[in-house]
Amino acid sequence: MFIKHQTWIAVLFAIVFPSFVTWVYFILFDGKSAVVGGVCKAIQFAFPACWVFLWMKIPLREAGLPKTDNGLPAWPTRRNVLSGVGLGIAIVAAMFAYYGFAITGSDFTNLSIKIASRVNRLSLDNPLGYAILGGFYAVVHSFLEEYYFRWFVFGRLRELLRFAPAAIVSGLAFMAHHVIVLYVFLGPSLHTAFLSLCIAAGGFIWAWQYERSRSLLGPWISHMIVDTGIFLVGYHMLFVAS
């Protein structure tokens, strides 16, 4: 029972902390302190591993690779890769369609101005710097988020709850800090509300994919493709259509 209570405390901290980090960086420091942002992110992504391996002292063989029903490690498979690619492409296609049909006219102009203003504050107003940041987020940051939200948040919730509530809660946790980011870039708009719900749905789907495959590879590939699509949309708004 004590271990169960500890798990709940760790999960609740992991759910709340990313939103706190995002608020500190984007709102309190207005995105102008890379050091503060870096330190907060380091704490966030170090916490799951420290809690599992140092505090709970769970052996790597038990907390690392998910296990199949026969107790053997669930190594990544071709199916994991294909499901990740397929899901990622489907989400990006829907994203491009939304961008092409829902964000038009004066709405497009207003959003472009808001995003350009925020990007300029972050000193990312040149294509090379933007591309480097996009590559980092698409490859590295997407993996760290999968490790954090799927392996740790969803994985620990799965020890306490059935699949559906664990996936819903982890999906909402994944959405929460993105709401702040969307608000900063898009303001209090219908786009912010709609895209926030889409992110929660994405978190649920990736939790389902992780549960089904017992591997982070598929969700990571899908997440990587989606983040690439997001940065491509931003690139078009900032450097092509402006």
pLDDT in tens, 158-217: 989 999 999 999 999 999 999 999 998 888 888 999 999 999 999 999 999 999 888 899
Residue bearing tokens 């608000």 = 183
Determine the Cα–Cα distance for residues 144 and 223; give it in Å rounded to an integer.
11
pTM listed for this prediction: 0.90
Query: 185 is written with which tokens?
Result: 């870039």
SS3 73: strand
Residue from 16, 39, 58 nearest 149 by CA: 16
Among 25-29, 101-105, 237-241, name the one with the lowest average pLDDT: 101-105
Determine the Cα–Cα distance for residues 143 and 152; give it in Å rounded to an integer.
12
Determine the Cα–Cα distance for residues 200 and 226; give it in Å rounded to an integer.
14
Q: What is the pLDDT of residue 3?
A: 66
User: Is residue 88 a contact partner of residue 225, using CB atoms and an 8 Å limit?
Assistant: yes
Instruction: Count the Cβ atoms, other than its own, within 10 Å of residue 162.
Output: 9
Asked if the model's pLDDT at residue 239 lies above 80, the reply is yes
- CA end-to-end distance (rounded Å), the chain: 58
Q: Which amino acid is at 174?
A: F
Share of the chain above pLDDT 90, in %: 59
Q: What is the pLDDT of residue 60?
A: 57
User: Is residue 48 a contact partner of residue 14, using CB atoms and an 8 Å limit?
Assistant: yes
Q: How many residues does the chain have?
A: 242
Query: 51 is written with which tokens?
Result: 């809690």
Instruction: Give domain limits for the chain.
Output: 74-240
User: Is residue 229 a contact partner of residue 92, using CB atoms and an 8 Å limit?
Assistant: yes
What are the two backbone dihedrals, phi and then psi, of residue 73, each rounded to the nearest 5 degrees?
A: -60, 140
Determine the Cα–Cα distance for residues 112 and 101; give it in Å rounded to an integer.
15
Tell me which DSSP letter residue 67 carries: B
User: Is residue 206 a contact partner of residue 150, using CB atoms and an 8 Å limit?
Assistant: yes
Q: What is the pLDDT of residue 1?
A: 58
Q: What is the pLDDT of residue 242?
A: 65
Tell me which DSSP letter residue 123 carries: T
Distance of CA 217 to the CA centre of its chain: 14
